[in-house]
Structure 1
Amino acid sequence: MRFDTIVVVDWSARSAPSPERPTKDAIWIGTVRDGGEAEATYLRTRHAAETHLVSLLERERKDGRRVLAGFDFSFGYPRGFARGVTGSDDTLALWAWLEEAVEDRPDNANNRWDVARRLNALFPGVGPFWGCPAGEASAELPARGTERRGHGLPERRRAETLLPRMQPCWKLYTTGSVGSQALLGLPMLHRLRQRFGADLAVSPFEPPERAIVLAEVFPSLIAQAIAARAGPDEIADRAQVRVLSEALARLDPARLSGMLREGDTEEGWILGLGHEDALVQDAPLAPPPLSDDCFALPPGVDWTPVEDAFAMLRARLRPVVGAGIVPLGDAAGRVLADDVIAMRSNPPEPNTAVDGYAFAGSAGQGAEVILPLVEGRAAAGRPYAGTVPTGHAVRVLTGAALPAGVDTVVLDEDTRADGARVAFRGPVKIGANTRKAGEDVVAGGVALEAGRRLGPADLALAAAVGLGDLPVRNRLRVAVLSTGDEIREPGSEAGSGQIFDANRPMLASLAARWGYEVIDLGRCPDDRDELRARLDRAAVEADAVLTSGGASAGDEDHVSALLRESGALAEWRIALKPGRPLALGMWGGVPVFGLPGNPVAAFVCTLIFARPALGVLAGEAWREPQGFDVPAGFEKRKKPGRREYLRARMRDGRAEVFKSEGSGRISGLCWAEGLVELEDGERHVRHGDPVRFIPYGSFGI
């Protein structure tokens, strides 16, 4: 059976009505009928949203239409919770308990903190629910998750273990407080069950064969598709319900029916988990292509200063690749597509930075301090279970969570202990030798920003804040092509007037070092039809093209000629040395960087211009190479009008340059360790004068 209407609800736990003007973190309802476009409705209160839903479902039932309604909060809790509350594993019985316990008034005022306390009291220890305003915190409802202990329940449902970026259902307050959404949403769902009776089923607890089916959804399953299809100023919550409802409406009815039968019938399940590819099969995950005139120069422009060229490229280029979710271990070298939000603070709880003894700081302010020791100790992964009384100390090892009652640690080497007491000289600074919870990154905060190319340190931080998967850009596909009748394959026979292809292996190596997928288009003779065929192939297989040779305006400069024929050529006469005009254009919607044929000029132009431009196309921010002012180990007179890049290396704290500036001397690239950049104006560089040295490492090589 197919669904005629799809409804997706983004719920809210606000304690007061949302603003009149539509905003985020409010209630949004997306509705798709008969596979059309979604309508997005903004509701200011949960009472208004429930009234809207009842009216919608009544109307659809009256018209004989079948409805799937998805809600973005947990339908169940980790195994054992329902039994602890109701004496039964029946999650729907838990819904009934919550509907009776929760008071949620028309103005959004509610008693969820009291309900959480009642629920926590049904379990041993402290927890499982946590998080509340400062005035609501108590022994029965801790403000922080690290204050819980001994409640005996799992932290996550099985579905949530597969989605580490999803917040646990016990969290009631601050960023990602999905626990409050569920406490205030499940009573509403129970009332829908009561109202529609045998016409309504709840997936996965009941067979999804009735006129109305309720299911749990998680829009972040298709976060990249939502981002790609959101309007430029569209509220994120509105985009979520709109795009997800349309994605569900596109699904094959048999596949959707199968998804609704999957999952855990005690804990609940997220619709579509494990089927993300199907949900986004028709979504435009890749950004739209660049416009054909993105490289066009303003009228009257002749020689273009380097800084002006940079500014135009920054303004006109944007990412051209799509994105997806990959396991943390596969994310090295990839570009981060979205901000990484910390699922957990780092450190997750206060801990000790050294081996020693922990105590309340106020007890360590005397000149000579002797404190009795409590039994036991705290070690990494083995916390101290009790509370340390004021005036006492406890043995702690590096990395151990600070026991309750202490906030200061004295270093082992500064103490004497006999097993019953510890002595040390004071005063000791309160908080000494400890690390605060979240002093590195706070849960809910941005740990890594979109546009960053992920390295080993980034993966370490992502892992530390609880991420097992990361949203990354697809690898940019860079096609590399050499042109010219004189070019021969390295290692083959070369006759008079012929040279070996040095550019293609060089450019391919650079692209690979920058993390791109290289597509080798080979060598192309000076044949316009053959070159057209190679560019046509690149337009299908690649996201960007690097060509060398044929980029000027001579009779055999076929790259420029073909781009000119296509109507998308800009010959950028950039004022730099070494280098000739860059032929920048579009072929079949793919940007083409026509580089000089001279290997030294091609190398320098690739580092200076192609590298930051390709980075933007790949999803990175524009990257300026980091240079350093160092004393010159050479003398040079430079004319005004062009910026110059000299092959250089550092020796004895000074930058020395290659013995020849000849652009045919490839050996100078090997001799060098970077480039010296000389500004556009006239310059007479003498030994010891400051010059800017840019090491190759700043270019990512």
Structure 2
Amino acid sequence: MTGFDRVFVVDWSARSAPSPAHPAADAIWIAEAATDGSCASTYHRTRSAAIAALTERLDACLAAKERALVGFDFPFGYPQGFAATVAGRPSALALWDTLAGLISDGPDNANNRFEVASDLNALFPGVGPFWGRPATLDLPGVPERGTSRTFDGLPERRGVEMQVRRAQPCWKLFTTGSVGSQALVGLPYLAKLRHHFGNTLSAWPFEHTRAPIVLAEIYPSLLDHAVELAAQADRDAIKDDLQVRVLASALMAAQQAGTLQGMFDAVPEGAAQSEEGWILGVGAEAALQAAAAPNLVPPRLADDCFALPQGVTWTPVDEALALLKARLRPVVQSGQCPVNDALGRVLAQDATAVRSNPPGANSAVDGYGFAAVSTGTGRQVLPLVAGRAAAGAPYPHTVPPGFAVRILTGALVPDGVDTVVLQEDVAVADGQIAFDGPIKPGANTRRAGEDVKEGAVALPLGRVLTPADLALLSALGLSHIPVFDRLRVGVLSTGDELVPAGQTAGPDRTYDANRPMLLALAGRWGHAAVDLGHVGDDRAALRKVLDAAASQVDVILTSGGASAGDEDHVSALLSEAGALQSWRIAVKPGRPLALGLWDGVPVVGLPGNPVAAFVCALVFARPAMARLSGAGWTTPQGYTVPAAFSKRKKPGRREYLRARLSADGAAEVFASEGSGRISGLSWAEGLVELEDGARDIAPGDPVRYFPFGSFGL
């Protein structure tokens, strides 16, 4: 098979009237990607206009001897058994033709889909399978809610939808996610395309993929994170438009990377190939995500993102933190990661349950199961059925009313059973059990999905994954998850006075304590720490290091050189680049914080004093880097405890004292507040925060204590 020259992705709509004249959401968007990397989209107000425009483009492709892949975002088939009843044989393509004869869809989008659904429901016993309609539509054959259906002869989902739990079932016709309506009005158009193009068009997976034009079902939400990043770069764009462009570009990129054919081959044997259809990319999500990766580069931070409001000179701590929170966003890309390797990684999308936990109702104890309705008060005697229910070995039959079955912890509750009595509360003899009633219905059982239901969000985007999270994700059937790349944090020390520990140094030299400390902090917070080394007071050398670092890391931490003195070269270089904001923060220890961009990479200039650098890293750099990493803003948890010290504090600056708790839970502070006393960092187990105003603290007075664990240490 030669490659595709064009990829078209269609975001469909089941509107009953034309979409707004001005481009809008929930309308029809068509993206077209080419081998040269270009991708453009068009907006269409009606289905007939969209298909006419698409047909014209496909005719042009054939005339130019180009091959085209065309994806539509609605189901190409229904669960197994539907086509045979409606079309007379188990063939999705036969069903397309049948629906083309039933659906009428005017040039103004007016259509009869609800009436057709009612007629189709009448072919099956009970009420259903289609559901959902406007309350004003008098059509009893289509219930308003899915719970009103009594039909259970067809599966609720296709096989592919068991792997894509966010996908809505094709029986749903109304309100959000009504892909059932999209399919009912869409499949007749696909039938018309097949008849128009004849043997130059094939429909995958029902037919081969060698034709000049290949139709395929797609699901743009497979690339939700890529769309989110695209939205950050183009905040005025409509999501539907972004979705089709991102997916069309990704499919073309997959072809050029040699992975597109693997997506076609991922469809399993069985009904999907004749009746149900399959979504292109499902079963090969990693390849699709990788193909989208070149388009997942987040937009860089704005040059003025660190600019202070006009007239501001001194910045209170809370205002500084609020500004950082508002102006920073993730700067890292994302990809798939095995759950087993995901400890400490940041979720790039909500993690949704592939199946419920527990997947089925089961017993919480070893005991005996029965139907509670068969029991009453007083002494109860029930005969036992032969066999038992055990974890991994369910009882294969229905337990008749008035009988009980031996059941073990974790075993699925058999049909006919809704209650379990503990074995310790039961007497067993002669094939019978005896116990005292009444027993509460549902006792000692776990409901299916009582922990997490299938399709529910188990963990949110931005979650930093813990060992417990890995257990939960695995229990819910997730083997791979989308995570952000680790934030690459470059750490650079500056100043002629610094030498590395271990070298012989005179009293005019200072051992570099900040770089190992900051590298360790970055690693402890789950980032990829990159040692950028040490640069003396040489502006040209510093420029060279920053230039190289900008291509290696996502954020740069420097210490020293952040003020405005003659040898403060970090500030000077950032000023020359026009991207320096020197924040004089009303904080002790600390105060100068240089924030800027170097070739688009954020630079955080910390104070040179190790104690001040440590405190500013915890208070300011940690939440900023969490935001940049995709983890969201972090706020440390503090606790009110009694003071074990005395102190008179002047107003104007927030102060952080090195502290730890005494045996009776009072906050002790280090003997000296001097910023040069590095030993106080090792002595301390946390920080006492003294608010901006004046304080006269005596022993026993309440103070706010933040253990280092609240800062992720």
**TM-score, structure 1 as length reference:** 0.84
Which of 100, 108, 113 is the aligned partner of 1:108?
113
Which of 376, 379, 389 is the aligned partner of 2:390?
379
Q: Structure 1 residues 673 and 347 mapped into 2: Cα distance closer, same or farther (>3 Å)?
A: same
Match of 1:688 in 2: 700
Secondary structure of 1:507 counterpart:
helix
Match of 1:150 in 2: none
Match of 2:684 in 1: 672
| 1:30-63 deviation line (CA, Å, top 9, x unaligned) | 3457865432445677x88767766765676578
Q: Distance in 2 between matches of 1:320 and 1:169?
A: 32
Secondary structure of 1:38 counterpart:
strand
Deviation, structure 1 residue 595: 0.9
Match of 1:133 in 2: 146
Q: Structure 1 residues 467 and 265 mapped into 2: Cα distance closer, same or farther (>3 Å)?
A: closer
Q: Quick check: 1:422 aligned with 2:429?
A: no
Deviation, structure 1 residue 270: 5.5
Counterpart contact for 1:572–1:582, Cα < 8 Å: yes
Q: Distance in 2 between matches of 1:169 and 1:551?
A: 54
Secondary structure of 1:541 counterpart:
coil
Alignment of 1:22-421 (within 5 A): 28-31=29-32, 36-41=38-43, 57=58, 66-72=67-73, 93-96=91-94, 99-100=97-98, 104=103, 106-109=111-114, 110-111=116-117, 133-141=146-154, 156=159, 164-165=163-164, 189-190=190-191, 192-203=193-204, 206=207, 208-230=209-231, 231-232=234-235, 234-249=237-252, 255=258, 262=265, 266=269, 267=272, 271=280, 273=284, 275-276=287-288, 279-280=291-292, 282-283=294-295, 285-418=296-429, 420-421=431-432
Say what the alpha-carbon RMSD is for the aligned residues: 3.9
**Stretch of structure 1 that moved more, 255-264 or 679-688:** 255-264
Q: Distance in 2 between matches of 1:361 and 1:142?
A: 30
Match of 1:127 in 2: none
Deviation, structure 1 residue 544: 0.8
Counterpart contact for 2:7–2:251, Cα < 8 Å: yes
Counterpart contact for 2:489–2:530, Cα < 8 Å: yes
Q: Distance in 2 between matches of 1:42 and 1:470?
A: 35
Q: Structure 1 residues 176 and 300 mapped into 2: Cα distance closer, same or farther (>3 Å)?
A: closer
Q: Structure 1 residues 211 and 375 mapped into 2: Cα distance closer, same or farther (>3 Å)?
A: same
Secondary structure of 1:475 counterpart:
coil
Deviation, structure 1 residue 428: 2.6
Deviation, structure 1 residue 481: 0.8
Deviation, structure 1 residue 308: 1.0
Q: Quick check: 1:638 aligned with 2:649?
A: yes
Q: Structure 1 residues 432 and 52 mapped into 2: Cα distance closer, same or farther (>3 Å)?
A: farther
Amino acid across the alignment from 1:239: L
| 1:476-525 deviation line (CA, Å, top 9, x unaligned) | 11110111111111112112211211110000000011111111111111
Q: Distance in 2 between matches of 1:76 and 1:475?
A: 40
Deviation, structure 1 residue 104: 4.9
Q: Quick check: 1:548 aligned with 2:559?
A: yes
Q: Structure 1 residues 618 and 554 mapped into 2: Cα distance closer, same or farther (>3 Å)?
A: same
Q: Distance in 2 between matches of 1:670 and 1:643?
A: 22
Q: Structure 1 residues 311 and 281 mapped into 2: Cα distance closer, same or farther (>3 Å)?
A: closer
Amino acid across the alignment from 1:198: N
Deviation, structure 1 residue 255: 4.9
Counterpart contact for 2:379–2:434, Cα < 8 Å: yes
**TM-score, structure 2 as length reference:** 0.82
Counterpart contact for 2:251–2:260, Cα < 8 Å: no
Counterpart contact for 1:17–1:107, Cα < 8 Å: no
Amino acid across the alignment from 2:245: R
Residue identity over aligned pairs, in percent, reads: 54
Deviation, structure 1 residue 374: 3.1
Alignment of 1:475-490 (within 5 A): 475-490=486-501
| 1:132-163 deviation line (CA, Å, top 9, x unaligned) | 922323352477x8xxxxxxxxx956xx89xx
Secondary structure of 2:564 counterpart:
coil
| 1:561-618 deviation line (CA, Å, top 9, x unaligned) | 2222222222211111122311122212111111111111111110001000111111
Which of 455, 462, 467 is the aligned partner of 2:478?
467
| 1:171-215 deviation line (CA, Å, top 9, x unaligned) | 856998989977986676455434432221334665544332223
Structure 1: runs of 5+ lacking an equivalent: 122-131, 146-154
Deviation, structure 1 residue 442: 2.4
**Stretch of structure 1 that moved more, 622-631 or 298-307:** 298-307
Q: How many residues align?
A: 667
Amino acid across the alignment from 1:485: D
Counterpart contact for 2:344–2:465, Cα < 8 Å: yes
Q: Structure 1 residues 25 and 425 mapped into 2: Cα distance closer, same or farther (>3 Å)?
A: farther
Q: Structure 1 residues 74 and 685 mapped into 2: Cα distance closer, same or farther (>3 Å)?
A: same
